[in-house]
Amino acid sequence: MSNRQPAETTPLIPRNRDVHPVAYDPNYKTSVTRSPNFPLLAMESTVTEETGPVFNQNKLGPLDNNLIMNWTQGKAPAVGERILMHGRVLDESGRPVPNTLIEIWQANAGGRYRHIKDTYFAPLDPNFGGCGRTVTDENGHYQFLTIRPGAYPWPNRANDWRPMHIHVSLFGSGFGQRLITQMYFQGDPLIDLCPILSTVKDRAQVDRLVAPLDLASSKPLDFLAYRFDIVMRGRRQTMFENKPEGM
């Protein structure tokens, strides 16, 4: 679903590693074997990272961003608490990121994924696939209608549970902006107990992963809304002698 249109080629701002999770944390046991042994290298972006792919709405189906109905193609709704997940995608300079593909995947209302290796006791919902996609509009807005996912246990320590969350993948306007993250829900007590979230050492950065309840965008007698704004890696501005901060 990629259009080979000319893409912006402005150099990308270097990543701020201080806001990323640490790679090694003994409380998150799989990070012990997966983490790198040597420091990461920071390199300048090139045309490869600064351009494409470019997406648009042409290849999307009418139910792609409606996880309540897309698995059955509108024949039967998924079971669970209906919610609207919405927000804007911006870069570090505050500019909207239009026409970027957003994909999400999640567990069902009982906390189980439609995946062959998920053996949690919660039943599968025959009407819920757990995946969706959309493309941001010209102002960076996006939205998904879905089911609030359930919490679930995972084999880390004796009794660890993942908070309710939705996985999010974004492509940005170039390969160097590629981002995979997770959205959590305001008020979930498991957030402060999660070993994966605790790899983010700055509490302010953890809070940015928590979507607040947005009653203004909720639909009475239908669904609650949660707003999740996403900031991607930005692009350097052009420098001028009389305006060092750029245009």
pLDDT in tens, 194-228: 999 999 999 999 999 999 999 999 999 999 999 99
Instruction: Flag whether 246 is in a domain.
Output: no
Give the CATH number for residue 39: 2.60.130.10
Instruction: Flag whether 136 is in a domain.
Output: yes
Torsion, CA 198, CA 146, CA 102, CA 206, rounded to 10: -20
| Residue 241: per-residue pLDDT | 54
What is the residue range of 172's domain? 2-232
Instruction: Flag whether 155 is in a domain.
Output: yes
pLDDT in tens, 95-153: 999 999 999 999 999 999 999 999 999 999 999 999 999 999 999 999 999 999 999 99
Catalytic residue set: 113, 152, 162, 165, 167
pLDDT in tens, 73-83: 999 999 999 99
Query: Which one-letter amino acid corresponds to residue 143?
Result: Q
Instruction: Flag whether 54 is in a domain.
Output: yes
| Residue 141: per-residue pLDDT | 98
Instruction: Flag whether 169 is in a domain.
Output: yes
| Residue 237: per-residue pLDDT | 61
Number of domains observed in the structure of the chain: 1
Instruction: Flag whether 35 is in a domain.
Output: yes
Instruction: Flag whether 110 is in a domain.
Output: yes
Instruction: Flag whether 104 is in a domain.
Output: yes
